[in-house]
Structures are given as C-alpha cells and as structure tokens.
Amino acid sequence: MSPNESAHRPVFVAETLSFLNPRDGGAYADCSCGHGYFAERLAQCIGPTGRLLCLDIDAEAVTATARRLDRFGERCTVVRGSYVDLPAIAAANGFGKLGGIVIDAGCTSREQLMNPALGLSFRVDGELNMKLDPSAPGPPARELIATLSGRELAALFRGAGESARTARVIASAIERSRARAPLTRTTELAQLVEGAVDAAGLRRGTRHPATRVFLSLRNAVNRELPALEEGIHAAVASLREGGRLCVLTYFGTEHALVRQTCRALERRCTCPPGLPVCACGRESVVRRLVRDPLSPSVREVDANESARSARLHIVERTTTPM
Ligand SMILES: C[S@@+](CC[C@H](N)C(=O)[O-])C[C@H]1O[C@@H](n2cnc3c(N)ncnc32)[C@H](O)[C@@H]1O
C-alpha cells in the first residue's frame, strides 16, 4: 500500500471551515483530530494569537497530530481524551469558551483501519480487538463475539442497518463456528460472514458482506453512539454565544442520532400539549444552520471514497444558558 492510499483524507473540509469561519485570535477545538489533517487546516486560519485544542482517544493519533502541528508551537494543544470530557479538558488547558468546534468521529481514520493491532478492518488480518482506547472499560470485539447470544448478535447487526434475515443468518453462522473453536481474527470473521451470506443467497450490491458486522462491533466496543450524544452536549456547553459546532456523520443510525440531538437542543417549549400557556420557559440552546444535514458534492465523492456516506450537521450556540 502506498503512503497516499494509507493516509486519511478528511471530508467536508471547505464547508466545515466556511461554517466555523475561524479568525485570527479565536479559540477552536477539533475534538476527534485523528492524525491531524483537518486540524492542520484549522491551525492555518487562527493567526499568531489564536488557539486550537485537539483531542482524540487514540494515543497514536494524538502523537501523530502533535507532530503534524509542531510548527504552530503553543498555539496548538493536543491532548488524549474523549470529547465527552471537553469542558473539563478545555478548562484544564486554559481555554475559555470556544468559537468553533468540530467532531468528526463517526468513522475511523484510514491509519486506524490499516492498523492490525486495532483489528478494525475485514481487509487487514489482526486480532478482533477494535478498542480505540485500551484503557476504556468494556470488552474487545472477540469477547462480544464469544459471549453474546445469537439473538443479541443479530440485534447488534440490525442496529448497523443489516436486514433482519441477514443478521439472523450471520449470527447463526457465528454460533455454529464458535461452538467448534473461538473466533479471534478479523479475516476469519470476514470469511465466515461472506460464506454464510453467499450460501443463503443474500449478497446485495458491491459492499463487502461483513461491512455492517464490523461497523456494529466497533460501535458497541467503543460505545460510539452514546459517546457522540454526550459529546454534542459537552461541545455545545463549551461554545461561546454565536460559536458553531460542525458534526460529521457516516452511517444511518449516526445521522439520525445527531439530527435528533441537535433538534432536541433547538427545541423551545416542551410543555405537554393542551396547556394554555408555556410553563417550562425553555428556550433553544442552539440554532440549526442547516435543517437537513449537508451531503457531499459529486466531485468530493469522486475524489474521496470516505465521503460517499458522509453528512455534515451544523449548529450555532444561542444566548440561553445550559
Ligand atoms: C475520522 S477520524 C478523524 C480524522 C480527522 N478529522 C482528520 O482530519 O485527520 C475519527 C477519530 O475520532 C476518534 N474518536 C472516536 N471516538 C472519540 C471520542 N469519544 N473522543 C475523541 N476522539 C474520538 C478516533 O480515534 C479517530 O481518530
């Protein structure tokens, strides 16, 4: 694999920069900096007195970003941590309220996918691990495969968009296989899924039949959806009035979760219907700048395969206290 093929290419860079509108002297955060490709573009916009806080839960990503941003000196702070803890991390590193935040979490970077020790890809042989942060509680993927019941496995795969029938077929194949010997390798699981789906005549489209199985395991192992919802609340709480949050999502359940979370933060009165006057006094905490999340242009999809399913959600902080 050439260095270009193994390097991550961030999606929606122009749109995200245009909505965040980073200025000289402003304070910003890239909450899932990966290897720092987008962070570098942001750092170029903040002038000599601006500040950028970069976070990631993956230690290797943090090291790579710190190296990439080294030339910006003290203007950039790179920290290992989760966006769930953004307010505390920002305060601990001397950041006040932020003018703009990006969360690009819904997919793993290409560097992570190609890392056999993480075991994230059905194309790269490695132990079925998938933990981006080894210190986080919870089991690795091989343990989920070994211990969840057939019904639980099928429900997990359905959560990532697999059809009920295909999810059942794959879960049964896993149950049969693990009764003979534990399933511990990525390529072993990929081949098993491929064989089961083909034998049942269920292969559809050009996507690898194990795509959703791997996605659902990665989501479960890293608690990705609950963390993303918490992360959006943490980010909104860290924005100054008029500050903006851009969230990139990559698959159906994630698009829906971010959409609902942003909508809930925008909601005003939540009194039961029928009350003559509002009793809750609730006001919007954010304003959605786009009603429907943005889709990538055909040009971007042609140039970058990861953009295919990406969506961009953008909200702006109001004056309502949280
Ligand atoms: C698609 S990559 C980001 C790539 C980055 N935008 C770039 O331009 O290089 C997603 C990153 O989110 C990180 N991540 C996942 N969950 C996280 C969390 N709860 N807090 C912080 N980072 C997280 C992953 O480790 C991964 O590096």
Residues 285, 235: Cα–Cα separation, whole Å: 12
CA distance 284 to 133: 34
pLDDT at position 2:
42
- Both 81 and 147 in one domain: the answer is no
Same domain (yes/no): 216, 228: no
Cα–Cα distance measured from residue 239 to residue 243, given in angstroms and rounded to the nearest whole number: 5
Same domain, yes or no: 18 and 33: yes
Q: How many domains does the chain have?
A: 2
89 pocket-lining for ligand 1 (C-beta < 6 Å): no
Strands 51-56 and 27-30: parallel
93 and 232 belong to one structural domain: yes
32 lines ligand 1 (CB under 6 A): yes
pTM: 0.93
Based on the fold, state whether residues 165 and 296 are members of the same structural domain.
no
Q: Is residue 322 part of a domain?
A: no
Query: Does 132 map to a domain?
Result: no
**124 assigned to some structural domain:** no
Tell me, what's the pLDDT at 105?
A: 80
Q: Which residues in the chain come in under a pLDDT of 70?
A: 1-6, 107
Across 263-284, b (16+ Cβ under 10 Å) vs e yields: eebbeeeeeeeeeeeeeeeeee
Taking every pair of Cα atoms in the chain, the longest distance, rounded to a whole number of angstroms, is 66
Asked if the structure places residue 198 within a domain, the reply is: yes
pLDDT (0 to 100) of residue 3: 41
Residue 58 Cβ contacting ligand 1 at under 6 Å = yes
First to last CA, the chain: 48
Same domain, 61 and 204: no
Taking the C-alpha atoms of residue 69 and residue 33, their distance in angstroms, rounded to an integer, is 11
> What is the pLDDT, as a whole number, of residue 322?
85
SS3 breakdown of the chain: % helix, strand, coil, rounded to 5? 45, 15, 40
Domain residues for the domain of 157 are 137-221
Q: What is the pLDDT of residue 274?
A: 87
Q: Which atom of ligand 1 is nearest to the CA of 13?
A: 8
